[in-house]
Structure 1
Amino acid sequence: VPAAERDEMKMKSVKEGESVTLDPGVIKNTTDSVTWHFNDIDITNITGGPGDMRTGDQCTHQFSEFRHRLKLDHQTGSLTITNARTTDAGLYHLEISISSRRITICSIKIFSVTVI
């Protein structure tokens, strides 16, 4: 991870079997596109309102172990992982694409999660 990104990285630690919330501290607009990545693989995505959310195996079959354990807050973009497992440890990237007319701005938040 580049030094500039490490400065922005938030560290989270959770005990196995407990829940952890990755809160980017932003408020999502209904037109924003929100994508969470785990070790560079899409695990959840919102392209509009609550009905436009995909998680786990809908995004990729490689990470279907997240099925039924991801909760995404549609207002804040926060991701909660329930029943944490040691295999959940790693880097989580949140990408928010904000489009206004012809301009698209991307914001990226990075979380390092340790499961103990």
Structure 2
Amino acid sequence: MMEGESFTLNSDLTEIKDDDVIQWKYEYYGDTLIAEINKRTDRIAVYDDVIDGRFRDKLKLNNQTGSLTIIDITTEHAGPYSLQINGVRKRKINIGLIGSVTSVSVKEGESL
């Protein structure tokens, strides 16, 4: 992947259950919540003004699967992300951009 492209952080869910709370966090700055689907309260939100506004107009949350897409990715979006479902951390994804080269790592047994 090159800078300027979009990158999707997959939840691996095919559908969201009625009582699910799905949270995506950017861990580089201490578990900062950047997107959330709360089916209990029927709320879907992206928090793109957090940190220094680096995610402003860059986040697209899929309300069917809970996957999160970062649009026009740059080096300032590099770092660890985590997915929590109902308060349990399900996966951690590390995005590293070096110039125009992207590396992605996930925990063993997880898909991307």
TM-score, structure 2 normalization: 0.72
Asked if residue 113 in structure 1 is aligned to residue 95 in structure 2, the reply is: yes
Partner secondary structure for residue 61 of structure 1: coil
CA deviation after TM superposition for structure 1 residue 92, in Å? 0.6
Give the counterpart of 2:77 among 78, 81, 88: 88
The residue correspondences of 1:1-116 to structure 2 (distance < 5 A) are 14-27=1-14, 28-39=16-27, 40-48=31-39, 52-57=43-48, 61-97=50-86, 106-115=88-97, 116=101
Aligned residues: 93
**Sequence identity of aligned pairs in percent?**
32
Name the Cα RMSD after superposition: 2.0
Provide the C-alpha distance between the structure 2 equivalents of 1:42 and 1:63, rounded to a whole number of angstroms.
13
Report runs of 4+ in structure 1 exceeding 6 Å deviation. Answer: none
What SS class does the counterpart of residue 23 from structure 2 fall into? strand
In structure 2, how many angstroms separate the alpha carbons of the residues matched to 1:64 and 1:42? 13
Q: What is the TM-score normalised by the length of structure 1?
A: 0.70
**Separation in structure 2 between the aligned mates of residue 112 and residue 94 of structure 1, nearest angstrom:** 12
Distance 2:47 2:53 in 1: 5
* 3-state SS, counterpart of residue 31 of structure 1: coil
* 1:107 Cα offset (Å): 4.6
Higher helix proportion (structure 1 or 2): 1
Residues 1:107 and 1:75: Cα distance change in structure 2 (over 3 Å): farther
What do the CA deviations read for 1:23-43 (whole angstroms, capped 9, x no partner)?
121232132101100112111
Determine the C-alpha separation between the residues in 2 that align with 1:92 and 1:37: 6
Structure 1: 5+ residue stretches without partners:
1-13, 98-104
- Partner residue of 1:8? none
